[in-house]
Amino acid sequence: MSTPLDSPDQGGTALLDRELEELLREETIEPGDHERFSHYVKKDKILESAMTGKPVRALCGKKWTPGRDPEKFPVCPTCKEIYESMQH
Mind listing the pLDDT tens digit for each residue in 32-66?
A: 555 688 999 988 898 899 889 999 999 999 998 88
pLDDT at 72: 87
CA distance 78 to 59: 8
CA distance 48 to 39: 16
Which range of 8-12, 28-32, 46-50, 77-81 scores highest in mean pLDDT? It is 77-81
CA distance 33 to 63: 13
In the predicted model, what is the mean pLDDT of the chain? 75
Say how many residues make up the chain: 88
Beta partners for 56? 64
Confidence of residue 22 (pLDDT cuts 50, 70, 90): low
